[in-house]
Structure 1
């Protein structure tokens, strides 16, 4: 079972295998050709997806998945797949600013959705993978740090619904005052589990004492969670309680033959909880939200074309 966790954990990582020099030279010498081919695929994706609101802004994953699926079926890609090189979707942190979907083709990094934050730049970028300012996702603290700026959220540790803490480690407040549980990417969950949940444990241990959801936000979320049919128990606690009780319970399951089944059940509960709060949202309004924004405990609205946060 642990081998399966490790396999899932690395599924979207950019890898730096020692590629043969001849392969690197061949791909790099044909980067202009590949750029043209991926531009054509991107144009096809634009025709397929252009109906989406504010396209292409915010459609990084959708475009990347579409372009990759188109590339897999092309005759020219067969030259590389015959060598064991396939276009892999990767996901991580780019330039310490963005959550980034991209494609890795052996030693090449290909971003077929390069203009989904800044729509004025070229839609495709191809670079040697070794030259990309990239960090594979690895822990909750890193995800939280980037998500605050990239997603324009205030993010707090989930000490209100602790039973699924490894699956929902955060509670967030957005600029409209919505309060909601926030999952990180599942690759972090798999890495955390493969490390005996030490990633979560270290993050919780390092939190400041006042690093918790503001009282008004907690009360707003509690009211929404009290609705009939909400699948998780409302049980506010301290980070130390999660470290001493919740995480050890999960550790005990790591060597169970039913581990993956248990994880699937937890993921279903997580998704059901998020969907219910999407349908029946918890929202702070009026002066309460303005007060949180003034104190820095909730973000202010940001225009999608405002890129000052990237500087």
Structure 2
């Protein structure tokens, strides 16, 4: 049985992907890079007025938005009849079965990064969003990139604390959401309290290990400070929130255990319902 990958997971490059990378891309990296820079210049003309600047000028902190815009443009270009040397190389690679997909992970154990996997290559089209002095595009063998899949909730929290700063606590306020959002992020300087594990990758990771890592963090992680707890309670509907921390932690662990007993249909229905409510919560943040 072939392995099922979760969204944005780095895939091991098998012999076929290595062969296709060498055949179509390796000898034409200069052309590919030239094409990527052309797409990035288009993005740089379109995005700055459309997204927040995160307290610093664009492109700082905008790796997700740049990567999403790039993926849309690349998919449209590959499907078109446009003929450009770098695009032609990518199109031939994909048409023969080469894998191109977005990836997200921990880069050199220092911060989170959105990038792309082209067969056995790491392709970063937002390389300047942490340090704007760096080149906007970086292409490396994936094995040399330093990008790794986030392995569990504890790994996520370790990287998040170093990269985003802030402090991280157990979600014992909204226990029904805790199996996919076991962590609460608190940034006092920004008066920010949020559930940060909302990426498709992190949700998929919780589901794949049957919520074991989420439950472990809920059992062992630190409790929310009173101020942050009150801020969250004030924003949550009564049917979602639990005011008592001990009861909330117990209910959050019970929610993880309950999902492990659920049928696939029951789990999917639960996930759809929680994600709708989670999205509604985020829109009010």
Q: Is 1:273 paired with 2:281?
A: yes
Using the alignment, how far apart are the partners of 1:93 and 1:175 within structure 2?
Answer: 24
TM-score, normalising length: structure 1: 0.76
Contact 1:64 1:112 in 2 (8 A): yes
Q: 1:203 aligns with which of 203, 214, 217?
A: 217
Using the alignment, how far apart are the partners of 2:254 and 2:163 within structure 1?
Answer: 32
Q: Is 1:103 paired with 2:116?
A: yes
Contact 1:64 1:102 in 2 (8 A): yes
TM-score, normalising length: structure 2: 0.83
What's the C-alpha RMSD, in Å, of the aligned pairs? 2.5
Contact 1:192 1:199 in 2 (8 A): yes
Q: What aligned pairs does 1:43-192 form with structure 2 within 5 A after superposition?
A: 43-52=41-50, 53=53, 54-72=57-75, 73-74=77-78, 75=83, 76=88, 77-176=90-189, 178-184=191-197, 185-192=199-206
Q: What aligned pairs does 1:15-34 form with structure 2 within 5 A after superposition?
A: 15-20=11-16, 21-26=18-23, 27-34=25-32
What do the CA deviations read for 1:37-64 (whole angstroms, capped 9, x no partner)? 1111111111222334421111101111
Cα drift, residue 243 of structure 1: 6.5
SS of 2:189 mapped into structure 1:
coil
Comparing 120-129 with 39-48, greater Cα deviation is found at 39-48
Cα drift, residue 152 of structure 1: 2.1
| Superposed structure 1 runs of 4+ greater than 4 Å apart | none
Number of equivalences? 265
Using the alignment, how far apart are the partners of 2:273 and 2:40 within structure 1?
Answer: 37
Contact 1:167 1:270 in 2 (8 A): no
Cα drift, residue 178 of structure 1: 2.0
Using the alignment, how far apart are the partners of 1:127 and 1:61 within structure 2?
Answer: 19
Query: CA separation of 1:248/1:60 partners in 2, compared to 1, >3 Å: closer, same or farther?
Result: same
Contact 1:152 1:174 in 2 (8 A): yes
Cα drift, residue 235 of structure 1: 3.7
SS of 1:12 mapped into structure 2:
coil
Q: In structure 2, what is the equivalent of residue 250 of structure 1?
A: 259
Determine which structure has greater relative contact order: mean sequence separation of CA pairs < 8 Å that are 6+ residues apart, divided by chain length: 1
Contact 1:93 1:134 in 2 (8 A): yes
Contact 2:172 2:242 in 1 (8 A): no
Cα drift, residue 87 of structure 1: 2.5
What do the CA deviations read for 1:61-94 (whole angstroms, capped 9, x no partner)? 1111222222231441321121112421111111
Contact 2:186 2:194 in 1 (8 A): no
Query: CA separation of 1:86/1:47 partners in 2, compared to 1, >3 Å: closer, same or farther?
Result: farther
